[in-house]
Amino acid sequence: MDDLLFGHRDKRGNWSPNDRLDPAPLLAWPPQPRALLKWLPSYFLPWNVLFAVSAWLFWQFLLPSQEVMQILAWPWIVQLFATNCVAVFFFYGAFELKLYIRRTQENRFKYNPKFPSDHQNSAFFFNRQNVDSLIRAFGSGVPIWTAYEVIILHLFATGAVPTVRFEEHPYYLLLLFLILPLLHEIHFYVIHRLIHIPFLYKWVHSVHHNSVNPSGCVRKVL
């Protein structure tokens, strides 16, 4: 597919789309029912359905039992951390392999035409963005993610936070499934605005903005 049918490149080769990014019809005012119905499948497919299925698989097959998680202990915490590392490696690694190692799409639709592995940059560990991404992903991103997960699962297991079973409240959980992606977007926006406050930006978030040419090694770092 020719990316120049949908955008253009400047003198440096940086690609930009021709059309502006418009908000989803769900947030449009006045309401646009026809546009909303046309857009609705993309609200779930592919990513939100993929995330929901992966969450169910984790809950059913990969998490320790409720009894085990009632007590904070290193064995199940380390197990959970290892599981998350494997998930991150294979999920993001698939994109890295296809787009940045094999480069099957070359630089089509790539905002910055250069590939991070071809250039050194002193903003990153060992002057290598890919190395920096791996260190931050598995050295800070996944541990922070796992820490939140451990706390939440422990609270569920001990009953400090109530849980709801699908058999007991199917309509409530179906409604929650419908609105959860929207709640996620609102949460992401609010938190992102928060970490752009100068103090938090300097000490928490600025490192994220070093990646002006992001690779497939996506890292979950604030």
pLDDT digits (tens, 9 = 90+) for 55-92: 999 999 999 999 999 999 999 999 999 999 999 999 99
| CA 93 from centroid of its chain's CA atoms | 14
What is the total count of domains within the chain?
A: 2
Does residue 11 lie in a domain region? yes
CA R_g for the chain: 21
Does residue 68 lie in a domain region? yes
Look at 25-29, 61-65, 116-120, 144-148 and tell me which has the smallest mean pLDDT: 25-29
* 113 in Cβ contact with 9 (< 8 Å): yes
* Shared-domain flag, residues 202 and 119: yes
Share above pLDDT 90 across residues of the chain, in percent, rounded to a whole number: 63
* Shared-domain flag, residues 38 and 113: no
Between the alpha carbon of residue 11 and those of residues 14, 16, 21, 95, 112, the distances in Å are 7, 12, 23, 28, 12
Does residue 221 lie in a domain region? no
* Shared-domain flag, residues 115 and 183: yes
Query: Which pLDDT value is given to residue 123?
Result: 87
* Shared-domain flag, residues 30 and 116: no
Task: Work out the end-to-end distance of the chain between its first and last CA atoms, rounded to an integer number of angstroms.
Answer: 34
Q: Which residues contact 90 (CB under 8 A, 6 or more apart)?
A: none
Does residue 49 lie in a domain region? no
- Is 21 a residue whose pLDDT tops 90? no
Domain membership of residue 3 as a residue range:
1-44
* Shared-domain flag, residues 14 and 89: no
Does residue 4 lie in a domain region? yes
* Shared-domain flag, residues 125 and 155: yes
Query: Which pLDDT value is given to residue 80?
Result: 96
Q: What token pair was written down for 48?
A: 């939100």
* 174 in Cβ contact with 166 (< 8 Å): no
Query: Which pLDDT value is given to residue 215?
Result: 67
Give 171-210 as a DSSP string. Answer: HHHHHHHHHHHHHHHHHHHHHHHHTTSHHHIIIIIGGGGG
* Shared-domain flag, residues 85 and 187: yes
Query: Which pLDDT value is given to residue 220?
Result: 41
Query: Which pLDDT value is given to residue 181?
Result: 87
* Shared-domain flag, residues 151 and 198: yes
* Shared-domain flag, residues 177 and 204: yes
* Shared-domain flag, residues 204 and 95: yes
Averaged over 111-126, what is the pLDDT?
90
Does residue 215 lie in a domain region? no
Does residue 88 lie in a domain region? yes
* Shared-domain flag, residues 125 and 202: yes
Distance between CA 202 and CA 110 in Å, rounded? 28
* 15 in Cβ contact with 109 (< 8 Å): yes
How sure is the predictor about 221, in pLDDT bands with cuts at 50, 70 and 90?
very low
* Shared-domain flag, residues 178 and 122: yes
Distance between CA 103 and CA 98 in Å, rounded? 6
Tens of pLDDT, residues 148-179: 999 999 999 999 998 888 889 999 999 998 89
Does residue 53 lie in a domain region? no
